[in-house]
Amino acid sequence: MHNDIISLENISKQYNKKDAFVLNDVSLSVKNSEFIALLGPSGSGKSTLLHIAGLLDSQTAGNVFINGRNTAKISDNERTYLRLTKIGFVYQYHHLLQEFTAIENVMLPMLAAKVNSKTAREKAKHLLKTVKLDSKFDSLPSELSGGQKQRVAIARALANNPVLLLADEPTGNLDPETAVLVFEDLIEIMHQTQMSAIIATHNYELADRMNKKYFISEGRLLEK
């Protein structure tokens, strides 16, 4: 429905003309505060789906509606603005900028959205506290553990108060114990902010704690 946070309608994706379809007529809607797990074997199309949902890649067919707006029918500038202010993306690998401190990495999306630097700094501190990094504001990524880097990446994704968080195996590079701790934080943040989320994961135990589970296989999406 077009009043959902995000609605993927009949999405198909083929990377190259001679290749098989990675996604084949996939539809998925996410309501306010809904927390969705995306499961599926490696190579099944989880990242492809998240990239299309996050407007980071284009679909071969179908439409992506965000807050009721058809993203195919808006200008590139508007799409960039939507991506920056409505969607937070967390990758499996943190993708932090190595030469910037934790606080600066979290400030960057706010500065890009023209938030003034004092406000951005205060918000970044608040977000880093939320992910339990009070003592690491001025640390460089190289001075942080894997779990801490991923926490900074989560704080960065939340910087512009997105309505939708897309996370691509966000704890996939962490040891199992750290993965659970980071995930617990993520669940707590979701409850506090009432954001919606789609999280690709291989961890069925963690997926069980979300509102819905979808499984991708052979280009199709099934609700579990």
**Binding footprint of Mg ion on the chain (CB under 5 A):** 46-47
From the list 7, 24, 44, 160, which residue makes contact with ligand ADP (rule: CB under 6 A)? 44
Rg of the Cα trace of the chain?
A: 17
Which of ligand ADP, Mg ion, none does residue 22 bind (CB under 5 to 8 Å by kind)? ligand ADP
From the list 18, 43, 114, 135, which residue makes contact with ligand ADP (rule: CB under 6 A)? 43
- Two structure tokens written together for 188: 């707590």
* 47 in contact with ligand ADP (CB under 6 A): yes
Note every long-range contact of 102-105, with CB atoms under 8 Å and residues 24 or more positions apart, other chains counting. 102/128, 102/133, 102/136, 102/137, 102/138, 102/139, 102/140, 102/141, 102/144, 102/152, 102/155, 103/128, 103/137, 103/138, 105/141, 105/152, 105/156
Residue 14 CB, shortest distance to ligand ADP, in Å, is 9
Q: Which residues inside 19-38 make contact with ligand ADP, applying CB under 6 A?
A: 22
Q: Which is nearer to ligand ADP, 45 or 162 (CB)?
A: 45
How many amino acids of this chain bind ligand ADP (CB under 6 A)? 10
Q: Which is nearer to Mg ion, 16 or 42 (CB)?
A: 42
Number of helices and strands (H, E) in the chain? 7, 10
From the list 7, 24, 48, 150, which residue makes contact with ligand ADP (rule: CB under 6 A)? 48
Q: Which is nearer to ligand ADP, 43 or 176 (CB)?
A: 43
Number of Cβ within a 10 Å radius of residue 137: 16
Number of Cβ within a 10 Å radius of residue 5: 23
CA 114-57-182 angle, 5° bins: 70
* 15 in contact with ligand ADP (CB under 6 A): yes
* 59 in contact with ligand ADP (CB under 6 A): no
* 93 in contact with ligand ADP (CB under 6 A): no
CB 46 within 8 A of CB 213: no
* 11 in contact with ligand ADP (CB under 6 A): no
DSSP, res 44: S
Contact footprint for ligand ADP (CB under 6 A): 15, 22, 40, 42-48
